Copies of this chain bind each other. A is one copy, B any other.
């Protein structure tokens, strides 16, 4: 599935375009232009060359490119009439399974956006939760045309950077992944808290849905990060730690019901490629958290 940067550097222009030509939606001309700039020393340089080709194109061609994208959560999404990559991307934020009301809301936003700007709303869905997509949609609808055109190109940058990183292996990979990790310290015992069940929820409006679950190991950490190897979707989250069970298993009486049982830590992610370490320091009667490193 993936190709190496070396292989890409040595391919014929036609083969090069065949392999990475779908990175920019329905716009193989971007890859064709980049083919002439080879060899690339890093995967990041390959991506920048493709973005350079897009930026160097005429405004007309750029608009045509933007117009080649499907609506977000639009009829194409429902009908499955999108490219595979667009389909997978929209599914990542649950845009393929909206209720009628949300579908209608997206429909109204799409209509208003196209009417104002003349192309569909571009957003790198994998970097956002559904809430964040809606917030961005409404905010950007208020932009001036030039500002919004730049925003759309910036989102193309994020979308295609992820596509290139998934398709090409080699030196100088672009940074496309964030990391969400935690750590539970039992400051009553002065030791890591072992065997604590942890759940990670993502908010969509007032509803929270489970996105990861783990149990702390001997060092009070989870064996792998709660989220890794992909962008952290911008949005609101809640970590829930079953500390009541932990202290009960240590034989500590902190009342009935215990003062602390499920401890929720609610926080937001604003940097999809950042590292969010959100630990819990806990006794049966107190706790603390912070954005750590």
Question: A residues bordering B, Cβ < 8 Å?
Answer: 132, 185, 187-192, 219-220, 234-236, 238, 254-264, 266-268, 270-271, 281, 283-293
Chain B residues within 8 Å of A286, by CB: 187, 190, 281, 288-291
Chain B's closest residue to A256 (CB) is B270
Q: Enumerate chain B residues within 8 angstroms of A256, measured Cβ to Cβ.
A: 270
A189 touches B285 (CB 8 A): yes
In whole angstroms, what is the CA distance A218 to B192 when docked?
Answer: 25
**Which residue of B132, B259, B262, B268 contacts A190 across the interface (Cβ within 8 Å)?**
B259
A220-B293, A264-B264, A266-B264 known; A187-B258 Cβ under 8 A: no
Q: Are B288's CB and A288's CB within 8 A?
A: yes
Copies held by the complex? 4
Which residues of B are found within 8 Å of A258, using beta-carbon distances?
Answer: 268, 270
Query: Is there an interface contact between A271 and B255, defined as CB atoms closer than 8 Å?
Result: yes
Contact partners of A255 in chain B: CB under 8 A? 268, 270-271
Beta-carbon contact of B293 and A191 below 8 Å: yes
**Cβ–Cβ contact B261 & A257, under 8 A:** no
- List the B residue with the shortest CB-CB distance to A235: B257
CB atoms of B268 and A266 under 8 A apart: no
Contact A236 B219 (CB under 8 A): no
| A292 and B185 in contact, given A266-B263, A285-B190 (Cβ under 8 angstroms) | yes
**A187 and B290 within 8 A (CB):** yes
- A190 — which chain B residues lie within 8 A by C-beta? 254, 259, 283-286, 290-291
23 contacts between A and B (CB under 8 A): A185-B292, A185-B293, A187-B286, A189-B285, A190-B259, A190-B286, A191-B293, A192-B293, A255-B268, A256-B270, A257-B268, A258-B268, A258-B270, A259-B267, A259-B268, A259-B270, A261-B268, A263-B266, A281-B288, A283-B290, A285-B291, A287-B288, A287-B289
Residues of B within 8 A of A238 (CB): 264
* Alpha-carbon distance A6/B268, docked complex (angstroms): 56
Chain B residue with minimal CB distance to A293?
A: B192
Contact between chains at A261 and B236 (CB < 8 Å) = yes
- Name the residue in A220, A256, A259, A284 with the highest tally of chain B Cβ atoms < 10 Å from its Cβ: A259
- A187-B283 in contact (CB<8A): yes
In the assembly, what is the distance between CA of A185 and CA of B267, in Å? 18
| A257 CB contacts on chain B under 8 angstroms | 132, 234-236, 268, 270
Residue of B at shortest CB range from A261?
A: B268
Quick check: A262 and B270 within 8 Å, CB to CB?
Answer: no
CA distance A187 to B238 in the complex (A): 20
Contact yes or no, B220 A187, CB < 8 A? no
**Are B271 and A188 in contact, CB atoms less than 8 angstroms apart?**
no
